[in-house]
Amino acid sequence: MAVGTQRSTANDTGTRPTNTLSAVWNSRWMRRFRRDRMAVGGIIFVVLLILVAVFAPWLAPYDPAEQHIIYRLRGPSEMFRLGTDEFGRDVLSRLIYGSRASLVVGLASVFLAGILGTVIGGVSGYLGGRVDQIISSVTNILMSFPSLLLGLMVVVALGPGTTNVVIAVALSLLPNFIRLARGPVLALREKEFVQACRAIGVSEARIILRHIIPNILGPISVMSTLWIATAIRTEASLSFLGLGVQPPTPSWGNMIRSGVNNILSNPWLAVFSGLAITVTVLAFNVIGDGLRDALDPKQRP
Amino acid sequence: MKAYITRRLLSIIPTLLIVGSIVFFVMRMASGDPATAMLGASATAESIARLREQLGLDRPLAVQYVDFLLNALRGDFGRSYATGRPVAEQIFAAFPDTLELVFWGMLVGTLIGVPTGIIAAVRPNSIFDYASRVVALLGLSMPPFYLGILLLLLFAVNLGWFPVISTPQPGFFGRLHAVFLPALSLGLVQASFIMRSVRSSLLEVLQEDYIRTAHAKGVPPARVHYWHALRNALIPVITVFGLYLGTLLAGTVLTETVFNRPGMGRLLVGAIQQRDYPVIQGGLMIYAALIVVVNTAVDILYGLVDPTIRYD
């Protein structure tokens, strides 16, 4: 056992943690992470955003579908804080409800792709040989499509709609996860500690589970966070092209689409919905960067 | 090494074959019948059946599949359902505009991304490092089309320096004028990605022992940074370059839509909306072929610059 794990789950000198949660909280990387103000800010923003999505009906000043026809395409005012869209619907209320689509697509698709991709990539890299060859070439083929085009293709095949967008975005991220897991595993396979395990007769499954996976969890959790950001962007892009979340369900992507269509009469619509996407994606990116810095102090400037 | 390169080059063929199959079957899975889509909801069953026959849609799927692959091999993707023109002709008409956008976008991205990445890594935690990191983070957090929208609002709608619809005008400067904003919006997003990977890769290399040795034995810092370190730092950057080029290609779909610029992306999105299968298939095949070729080139390059990678 002692041969293995390069990065221990790290509780520090002396202090014995009472449970796993406090062990994580007090671990060295967690303390580094907590000091990273940007990353903590990102976490706070995401938590607030989740609350906004959950409590949308209580927070939104108007029903997101309610049309105030006389007030079409108005800029920000007392009555409509962020203005109205081409049907006279309140932009602020629609942004609040739209957070649901972005979060659901972002989280669900990365979760799906992360689990599938790590398993497939890890096994492929570790086993090598014919299995690896087949999986890698399929991955390469999937990679040969930019994630947006792949997502586009899946959505064209399955039809638009939130569930299909989740599948499309997950599939578009899958090759990334496979490659991410495969690379380090391929390198780790040749490391002395793995060869030592093999020499003393540790089973393949145990080597993968106990010695390889813990070593790649760092990069995978970092990249998962960053890919939530990518997923939200892909959803926005698909919806922007009119192939994602379908109106009347508000999503930031389809709001920006109607914003572009009405850019001359109410530029605010595109600006605000794009801003919502940007800030949310930024929050996830900052968290991801913070995690990377905390988990891999070598890369810190 | 030679055997590896040959094998890699030969692998393009089965890859494209599989891509073609995926594209074909995915497109056929798509709900909705092109004949119905073309004629509209008011069409009679009889006229739809006649059109299906004309388009060859009544033949068995396997026959259509083999037919598609054989024709694709010859660069023949059939005729557009919507316009009746050969798909290849439409693609080749749209291709130069997209290629132009990709070229300028990549140029802007590289020219801004690589030097800023190097400077930021060589002077970590300086004001320059901090500022460029913040800007890069913002750039890659924006949806690729959002920056385009902001540039459009500022320079086309408010200042009127550029047309709102960027149709390329004849002449070098006419083309440059039309491609400027789209390329800038693509390139700046690209620069963010490139800057970050150059920076983190160079930063990592600069901490290696052999760099300290070089400094210790009195090699001038500039030579250490740009000769010893940069060469190794660019290895991982090369691998991501292939990915970035793919992202950039996909980005053109959005950018062309924002700027109303003609090109492959507009063609593809229009075809998707019209269920124009031959155009979708042809367009996706061209995108895929481009990217397969780029990835193969990157793989080979990677093998050449990093002798520690083993291929068997």
Is residue B312 a part of any domain in this protein?
A: no
Tell me what pLDDT residue A59 has.
86
Shared domain for B269 and B177, answered yes or no, is yes
Residue B78 inside a domain? The answer is no
Q: Is residue B31 part of a domain?
A: yes
Cα of A178 to nearest chain B Cα, Å: 15
User: Can you tell me the mean pLDDT for A76-105?
Assistant: 85
| Residue B82: inside a domain | no
Chain A, 60 to 119: residues with Cβ < 8 Å from chain B are none
pLDDT for res A211: 80
Nearest CA in chain A to B204: A299
Clarify whether residues B30 and B120 are in a common domain. Answer: no
**Closest alpha carbon to B272 in A140, A168, A233, A176:** A168
Q: What is the pLDDT of residue B142?
A: 87
B60 and B106 share a domain?
Answer: no
| pLDDT < 50 stretches in chain B | 31, 312
Q: Note whether residue B86 is domain-resident.
A: no
Token pair of A296 as six digits:
């891999």
B102/B50 same-domain check = no
Residue A68: count other Cβ atoms within 10 Å of its Cβ. Answer: 15
> Under 8 Å CB-to-CB from B210, ≥6 apart: which residues?
B228
CA distances from A130 to A126, A137, A158, B5 (A): 12, 11, 32, 19
Q: Does B111 touch chain A (CB under 8 A)?
A: no
**Interchain pair B30, A156: CB under 8 A:** yes
Given B73, B105, B128, the domain boundary residue is B73
When mean pLDDT is compared across A68-72, A291-295, B28-32, the lowest value belongs to: B28-32
CA distances from B27 to A169, A235, B36, B243, B250 (A): 18, 21, 16, 24, 19
**B173 lies in some domain:** yes
Q: Examine the domain organization and report whether B40 and B169 are in the same domain.
A: no
Q: Please list every residue in chain A whose beta carbon sits closer than 8 Å to the beta carbon of residue B257.
A: 240-241
Helix residue spans in chain B (DSSP H): 2-10, 12-29, 34-39, 45-55, 61-73, 87-122, 127-141, 144-151, 172-206, 209-216, 221-223, 230-259, 264-274, 277-305
Confirm if A132 and B280 have CB atoms less than 8 A apart: no
Cβ-based burial of B31 (10 A; exposed 0-12, middle 13-18, buried ≥19): exposed
**A202-222 pLDDT, tens digit each:** 887 788 778 877 778 778 888
Instruction: Give dist(CA B176, CA B101) in Å, integer.
Output: 10
Cis bond before residue A297 (omega within 30° of 0): no
Residues B45 and B164 in one domain: no
Question: How many domains are contained in chain B?
Answer: 2
Residue B310 pLDDT:
55
- Nearest Cβ partner for A278 among B26, B146, B153: B146
Residue A2 is predicted with a pLDDT of 41
Domain ranges, residue B46? 2-73
- Distance CA(B113)–CA(B198), nearest Å, equals 8
CA distance B28 to chain A (A): 8
Distance CA B289, CA B13 (A): 10
Is the domain of B107 the same as that of B62?
no
pLDDT at residue A223 is higher than 70: yes
Please tell me the pTM assigned to this model: 0.81
Q: What is the mean pLDDT of residues A270-295?
A: 90
Are residues B129 and B46 part of one domain?
no
**Residues A85, A144 contacting (CB under 8 angstroms):** no
Residues 115-154 of chain A whose Cβ lies under 8 A from any Cβ of chain B: 137-138, 140-141, 143-149, 152-154
Q: Is residue B17 part of a domain?
A: yes
A129: left (phi over 0), alpha (psi -120 to 50) or beta: left
B101 in the same domain as B68: no
The answer as to whether B297 is a domain residue is yes
Q: Is B235 on the interface with A (CB under 8 A)?
A: no
Question: Is any Cβ of chain A less than 8 angstroms from the Cβ of B152?
Answer: yes
Task: Note the ipTM here.
Answer: 0.80
Mean pLDDT of A155-179: 87
Q: How far apart are CA B19 and CA A149, in angstroms?
A: 13
pLDDT at residue A7 is higher than 60: no
**Phi, psi dihedral angles at B86 (to 5 degrees):** -60, 140
Q: Do B222 and B263 belong together in one domain?
A: yes
| Same domain as B243, residue B145 | yes
* Euclidean distance between CA atoms A148 and B247, whole angstroms: 8
Of A14-28, A113-127, A286-300, B188-202, give the lowest mean pLDDT range: A14-28
CATH number for B178: 1.10.3720.10
| Residue at which a domain ends, from B10, B40, B73 | B73
For residues B238 and B101, membership in a common domain is answered with: yes
Query: In which band, very low, low, confident or very high, does the pLDDT at A108 lie, cut at 50, 70 and 90?
Result: very high
